[in-house]
Structure 1
Amino acid sequence: MMITVQDFTGVYAEQPFMQKLRTTAETSKDVRWLDCTKIVGTDCYCDDDAIKEINELIDNAESNSKSESERNIENRGNSTNVPTIHFFDNGNYHYMSKLWTDRVQEPFTLIVFDHHPDMQPPRFGGILSCGGWVKEVLDNNKFIQNVIIIGVKDELVETVREELSQSGESSILEKVTFIRESELSILSSLICSDFVNVLSPNLYISIDKDALSPTYAATNWDQGSLTLDALKNFITTLTAGRKILGIDICGERAHDFEGDEHHTVQEADKLNSELNRELVVFLKKI
């Protein structure tokens, strides 16, 4: 499984596991480290120039560092995608999931773990944002079949419904299923019911670690109450018998984080480093 790391703020510098990946990227074609720290116009909002620069960076990396397994697949004429894990810094860059799903060329269901719905109507001339990227995918990706958003703060679901109703775009919600934070305890029963029937055979998974309790992650947004074991169990169940097209992970601490009631800076970096390692180990097995 390929791993691509996009470093926007330098926050990975204090995470031993991520620095190990950076070292591995120097010699392995299965890990790519993309330095995005000098790209302007990316924090929370991503303007057109930044999108172009990011896509060019990804294109160059993909052409230069295809893994041996990918080369073998291509040589056999097999177009099956090799699932890739994408890390891209803190939640301000969650819009990267829109750019990565733009590259999908077959029908899929988008599974999002997030404490926020990320479906705000655009407020600045349609510019891509971390708070509205899911809506952008629904509006513009011809392959998207539906979206499942898991762990959303309850009151934000109603806020999004009101905003989309006011903008005359509420019909988009016909393709969206919200699993509120208060419903996480019954999610297992939902998954075992007709819920799974709405899923495409192809899944794209996007994880913002702010869906997790502060026990498991230190992020730059307010956090939910999802446990790591529950996250793993949900992914295992949802992906059974389905093809995974890609897996995104964001939700690091803010680069200027100075500690809070949950973690010191050092505790946050240690916690996030271990979580990223554990997620990679887990995801490689599904």
Structure 2
Amino acid sequence: MNRTIILDFDNSVDSIENALRVDLASWQAAIRFGCSKKNFRQLAIKLQQDLPTSYGTVMLGSGDYHHISLLLIQRLQNIYNAQHPLEVVIFDNHPDNMRYLFGIHCGSWVSYVARLPFVSHVHVLGITSNDIGFSHAWENRLSPLIKNKLTYWSMDVNTRWANTIGLGRAFKNFTTPDDLINGFLTYQISRSQPVYLSIDKDALDEETIQTNWDQGRLKTDHILKTISSLGERIIASDITGDVSNWQHPSRFKRLLSILDKQPSIPTNTLELWQAQQHQVNLQLLSALQAN
């Protein structure tokens, strides 16, 4: 069994038996939330040096680091190519396909994944954020949607605007979490390509867990059901959405954090939330390791 990897930017992930913890605390200010492409490339070199050839699920810490999933997926390019493609399946309350003009951002990385030649399609499951609604339509990068490389699986968002410009097939809307997951798994019955699975726990509802982002409506069982159904097709995975406090040194990042309504969490509350996060992490890891 390959070891779990903890990319420890923010000390938010508790100890996991036999996991390899990679100390990346010195990278936190440069990488968290968003970073320049230069810093992103430098981190890629660092991970190339520090990660073993093979490993299990990668824990990223806060959802502020979800863009690191791109680096992990890129590492698969020597195994998979255009002739042997894979699908990327992402649980997230947000599309992570938004425009960001200053490098790469935890909310912009999906469009880069969709450009990879060995990725046949990207699915984002569990979106309830209005980031895919009409008022934010201009912020979405339309290219992967137009090219049929990206599908949003959502609830509670009016996406009729997509039909008016011919993108209706890229927007799958459902009334309940059960309907969404069943719809996705029904679609996957006829699929056989390998899957990279990325789990941002902000797709879960607040009764299940607390994150530092606005959250969706899924339950842990919805993710576990998906893992079980995809089974051995899952060839690599990561988990993010843990919670930590951080004061950005950069005024620009502080402003973006404020605009995204990220709260400062009291210490006692943070410890409680992290304990809840740890239990969900163990459930998810157990399911992934069983495949």
**Separation in structure 1 between the aligned mates of residue 242 and residue 208 of structure 2, nearest angstrom:** 12
What is the percent sequence identity of the aligned residues?
Answer: 23
Partner deviation per Cα, 1:174-199 (whole Å, 9 max, x = no partner): 222221134222134414534543x4
Candidates 204, 207, 211, aligned match of 1:212: 204
Gaps of 5+ in 2: 157-173, 247-263
Whether the aligned pair in 2 keeps the contact of 1:138 and 1:172 (CA below 8 Å) is: no
1:150 corresponds to which residue?
125
- TM-aligned CA distance change 1:160 to 1:171, over 3 Å: farther
2:154 corresponds to which residue?
180
Is the counterpart of residue 50 in structure 1 residue 39 in structure 2?
yes
- TM-aligned CA distance change 1:175 to 1:35, over 3 Å: same
Is the counterpart of residue 273 in structure 1 residue 278 in structure 2?
yes
Whether the aligned pair in 1 keeps the contact of 2:88 and 2:197 (CA below 8 Å) is: yes
RMSD between aligned alpha carbons? 2.6
**Separation in structure 2 between the aligned mates of residue 233 and residue 94 of structure 1, nearest angstrom:** 22
Partner deviation per Cα, 1:64-84 (whole Å, 9 max, x = no partner): x55xxxxxxxxxxxxxxx662
Is the counterpart of residue 255 in structure 1 residue 245 in structure 2?
yes
1:34 corresponds to which residue?
22
- What TM-score do the two structures reach when normalised by structure 1? 0.77
- TM-aligned CA distance change 1:134 to 1:93, over 3 Å: same
SS at structure 2 position matched to 1:264: helix
1:117 corresponds to which residue?
95
**Separation in structure 2 between the aligned mates of residue 119 and residue 160 of structure 1, nearest angstrom:** 15
- TM-aligned CA distance change 1:51 to 1:219, over 3 Å: same
Equivalent residues, number = 247
Gaps of 5+ in 1: 13-17, 25-30, 67-81
- TM-aligned CA distance change 1:98 to 1:170, over 3 Å: closer
SS at structure 2 position matched to 1:215: coil
Please list, as runs of the form range in 1=range in 2, the aligned pairs for 1:102-251 lying within 5 A after superposition.
102-105=74-77, 106=80, 107-124=85-102, 127-139=103-115, 141-153=116-128, 155-159=130-134, 162-163=137-138, 169=143, 171-172=145-146, 174-182=148-156, 183=174, 184-191=177-184, 193-197=186-190, 199-237=191-229, 239-240=230-231, 242-251=232-241
Partner deviation per Cα, 1:58-115 (whole Å, 9 max, x = no partner): 22223xx55xxxxxxxxxxxxxxx6620101101100011111111131110000000
